[in-house]
Amino acid sequence: MLSTTSNLKSMTSAAAVLQEGICVVSTASVHESRLRVSGYAVHPNNQPDSLQIRANGVLMEFQKYEPHKAQQAALRVDEVHHFEAIGKNIPGGLIEIRAVFESRPSAPPVTYYFQPEAHVLPDASRRVRVHGTEEESSFNLIGCTIAHNIRALVEQHNGKPLSSIGRVLDWGCGCGRVARFLFPELQEPVGVDIDVNNIEWCRESLAGSFLATSLDPPLPFPENTFDLVFGISVMTHLGEHDQEAWLRELSRISRSGGLMLLSVHGYRSAFLNGAPPELYDTLDRTGFLDAGRDGALDGHTSDPGRYRGIYQTPDHIRNKWAKHFLVLDVLPGFLASNQDLVVLRKNS
């Protein structure tokens, strides 16, 4: 456990993640105006703390709040609690789920978004390849949260709503986990992915254009095509050589001044994946870590060995990616308390 290990020096990166505490909302559902959420909380500094969760600003009531032994072992920390909470009289439409720890009121809240209205849903095998689990509620919750975050960031950095942006590319769209929530409001949305089966489902089920692509550039678009590109859980699986090739290609197809949002595995992801001390040591020392082959797309890509588990630091990103884009920000744990989001702009 992190609180008792004798090798604390090698765990300083994990300790930094723990400083603010982590709340992971895993599922959300609404029935007869009652919102039910479940998940787990990692208390700040591995000490007991009071967690508050609000739905649209109204405090939710905990139905269960108890030590999570399995998650404690998996994350190598002591203070992990499983929770189930209820919110009553929830109106229809978008729901904001916001969590704060009582001892850290000034820390940024952990925020998720959930939309109970039905969206067309890909089948279980497709959800697993994209999301890691077939759980429907989690697939909808995380897709809605990421979509909302993209929408807010575009407005923040471009000063206008997402709906006014011209051509938009979802690079690595999978089975539309995010596109399901964003594409209906976009002018010219395009999704691409190496998973042909998922692309076929998107074409049949979702608004927008969808294309199957190969593991290597180029994409079938002219130079200066897109005003916005977002890639969720793509760089998380590309080795350093592949990342370099794709950054050049994404720069080629982006318009001058275009915005790009790319997610990566950073320290937060490493912690939530139960990283051992040696992983943090390597990541601190090199800034980039290939943790080995990821088998999620076995049978659905031409070269499964190139689909990797990749971790990288903000300093590595700023040093390596700046030759292709202006690095505006690296937002730790921005995507549903897990992956970091890199905000880039195409150099004029």
Position 330 in a domain: yes
SS3 195: coil
Q: How far apart, in whole angstroms, are the C-alpha atoms of residue 15 and residue 46?
A: 9
Q: Which residue has the tokens 């970091």?
A: 340
In a domain, 2, yes or no: no
Task: Please enumerate in sequence order all residues whose Cβ is within 8 A of that of 316, keeping only pairs 6 or more positions apart, or say none.
Answer: 286, 287, 288
Look at residue 5 in the predicted model and tell me its pLDDT: 37
Do residues 89 and 135 both lie within one domain? no
**Residue 169 belongs to what domain range?**
124-346
Residue 212 lies in a domain: yes
Q: Could you tell me if 132 and 250 lie in one domain?
A: yes
**Of the candidates 91, 114, 137, which is a domain's last residue?**
114
Cα distances (angstroms) measured from residue 201 to each of 48, 50, 127, 143: 46, 44, 12, 17
Which residues on adjacent β-strands are paired with residue 312?
288
Q: How many CB atoms lie within 10 A of CB 6?
A: 5
Q: Same domain, yes or no, for 131 and 161?
A: yes
Specify if 40 maps to a domain. yes
CATH number for the domain that contains residue 334 = 3.40.50.150
119 within domain boundaries:
no
Same-domain status, 185 and 318: yes
Is 167 in the same domain as 81? no
**pLDDT given for residue 3 in this prediction:** 37
Measured torsion, CA atoms of residues 70, 75, 79, 83, in degrees rounded to the nearest 10: -60
pTM of the prediction? 0.93
**250 and 153 co-located in one domain:** yes
d(CA 222, CA 267): 36
Same domain for 109 and 190: no
Ordered per-residue pLDDT tens for the chain, 348 residues: 343 333 333 445 777 788 888 999 999 999 999 999 999 999 998 888 999 999 999 999 999 999 999 999 999 888 999 999 999 998 878 999 999 999 887 778 899 999 987 778 999 999 999 999 999 999 999 999 999 999 999 999 999 999 999 999 999 999 999 999 999 999 999 999 999 999 999 999 999 999 999 999 999 999 999 999 999 999 999 999 999 999 999 999 999 999 999 999 999 999 999 888 888 889 999 999 999 998 888 888 878 888 899 999 999 999 999 999 999 999 999 988 899 999 999 986
Choose the final residue of a domain: 93, 114, 135. 114
Say yes or no: 87 and 204 in one domain.
no
Taking the C-alpha atoms of residue 89 and residue 146, their distance in angstroms, rounded to an integer, is: 25
35: CATH: 2.60.40
Q: From the CB of residue 287, how many other CB atoms can be counted at a distance below 10 Å?
A: 17
User: Helices marked H in the chain — which ranges?
Assistant: 12-18, 69-75, 124-131, 136-158, 179-182, 196-205, 240-253, 267-272, 277-286, 314-321
In terms of domains, do 73 and 161 share one? no
Look at strands 80-87 and 34-42 and give their pairing: antiparallel
Same domain assignment for residues 172 and 298: yes
Same domain for 71 and 143, yes or no, is no
Residue position matching structure tokens 């744990």: 333
Q: Is 137 exposed, middle or buried (0-12, 13-18, 19+ CB in 10 A)?
A: middle
The count of structural domains within the chain is 2
**Which of 69, 90, 114 represents a domain boundary (last residue)?**
114
Chain centre distance of CA 166: 24
Q: What is the C-alpha R_g of the chain?
A: 20
Q: Exposed, middle or buried by CB within 10 Å (0-12, 13-18, 19+), for 117?
A: exposed
Three-state secondary-structure class, residue 269: helix
Q: Do 100 and 131 belong together in one domain?
A: no
Q: What share of the chain is helix, strand, coil (3-state, %, to 5)?
A: 35, 35, 30
pLDDT value of residue 12: 57
